[in-house]
Amino acid sequence: MAPAELANALALVGVVILIAALLSGLVERSGVPQVAIFLGLGAALGPAGLGALGVGLDSPALHIVATLSLALILFTDALTLDLREARQHGKLALLALGPGTLLSAALFAAAAWWLLGFSPPAAAILGAALASTDPVLLKGLLRRPSLPAGARQTLRLESGLNDVVLLPIVLVALAFLDSAKLDSASFARLGLDLFLLGPGAGVLVGVFGLATLDLMRRRVGVRRDYESLYSLGIAFAAFAAAESVHGSGFLAAFAAGLTIAAFDVELCDCFKEYGETTAELALLLTFVLLGGSLIWSGLSLATGATLGFVLLVLLARPVIYLAAFAPTKIDRPTRLLVAWFGPRGLSTLLLALLPVFAGAAEGAEIFRVACLVVLVSILVHGGTLMWTGRRERGPAAPPASAAAVATATTSVGPELAGRTETAPV
């Protein structure tokens, strides 16, 4: 990398960190989708703006950042998964992942094949990518104290598990995308890579990493803030170990995170304090890179067929999820909330980039259609989040004058003067 390119990359990382930190309070209060802000930043820095950021689909920087971001998404999904909650609400998780996620992916794939003319493997990749929900957009919703407990549990389980269900579909379809036929040996190799080498490498790295950490804790002690960095190191080591034996590094990252979640609660709590923020910054950096020009390429496909496909994708999820959760005891308003909030975002784009990085013939077209769906989803679902957030907050009360405060203090009597009461949130 040339010195000028290195300087530009460091400047971009610095800008993302500064803006994320300075606007964090404003974003939380206003309800504006964080991803929308960083897409706008990418557009301002891109060719249509200042011209300081130009990233193409063949960019090595995009390949590296997108790969790390997808690995971090899968790792943090597994690491922050509450296994006790997943066991207690096993039926809920199965409904969200089975009739919910998988049926959505199948329906979207059929629509891509019929409406857009994709080949069956390409349609399967696009359908799986569009069935994935965005963890960044959902995070703002899950933080709301007014969110019903049933909706919180369902969305948390879905966002934590659906990517690892959809990723194998993408990887298997990718093997068929540029191959007319796979022999039995290729099938066996594909199954070995997906279900043994990748997860196995992740579990081994996770177990070894935890054993080493426990030994150092007992012998010399480990600073708590460095345990967060240690967990990120486990994620990247698991990815590299799986790729070195031709397994899936993404599945290895998820398996490593799940291993930590199962055996080391303290490390999980430590990671939530710092490591999750680091992962979120990586995701926002990816949004800036894509916002330069790539994600806007989806607007060039705004034809009648593609807009009909986008409408089907956005409206089919509520129908599927309402039907899937009909047998449960969840009340109807909660079911409606869960069914509606399935925003498409970074995880969709990252899954759609895998065929691009593999050099597949239909990879660029898959990515552009995914970009169009994501842009509409950010507008629709992000707008819904802003609207509901403002309704919950209500109109702001006008500031009280000094005279009014003095009168109120006098009228309550001396026995209550000086007391401060906190209204419940």
> Which CATH number do you get for residue 255?
1.20.1530.20
Cβ proximity of 227 and 216 under 8 Å: no
Residue 1 lies in a domain: no
> What is the distance between the alpha carbons of residues 199 and 242, in angstroms, rounded to a whole number?
8
- What per-residue confidence (pLDDT) applies to 388? 66
- What per-residue confidence (pLDDT) applies to 5? 58
Residue 414 lies in a domain: no
Residue 92 lies in a domain: yes
Residue 424 lies in a domain: no
> What is the distance between the alpha carbons of residues 246 and 190, in angstroms, rounded to a whole number?
10
Residue 28 lies in a domain: no
Residue 408 lies in a domain: no
Sign of the dihedral through C-alpha 69, 72, 74, 80: negative
> What is the distance between the alpha carbons of residues 264 and 170, in angstroms, rounded to a whole number?
31
Place of tokens 């359908």: 127
Nearest to 100 by CA among 310, 340, 307: 340
Tokens of 95: 């409904």
Residue 169 lies in a domain: yes
pLDDT averages per 10-residue partition of the chain, 425 residues: 61 74 71 75 78 79 86 85 76 80 93 93 94 77 76 79 88 79 71 85 93 89 79 91 90 91 74 68 79 84 89 91 82 82 82 90 92 90 73 50 42 39 36
Nearest to 92 by CA among 153, 171, 16, 169: 153
Sign of the dihedral through C-alpha 308, 348, 191, 184: positive
- What per-residue confidence (pLDDT) applies to 255? 93
Residue 91 lies in a domain: yes
3-state secondary structure 1-47: CCHHHHHHHHHHHHHHHHHHHHCHHHHHHHCCCHHHHHHHHHHHHCC
Place of tokens 């196995």: 200
Which domain, by its residues, includes 203? Answer: 33-391
- What per-residue confidence (pLDDT) applies to 106? 94
The DSSP element (H or E) to which 376 belongs, if any, is: helix 363-393
Tokens of 40: 């706008």
Domain count of the fold of the chain? 1
Cβ proximity of 320 and 96 under 8 Å: no
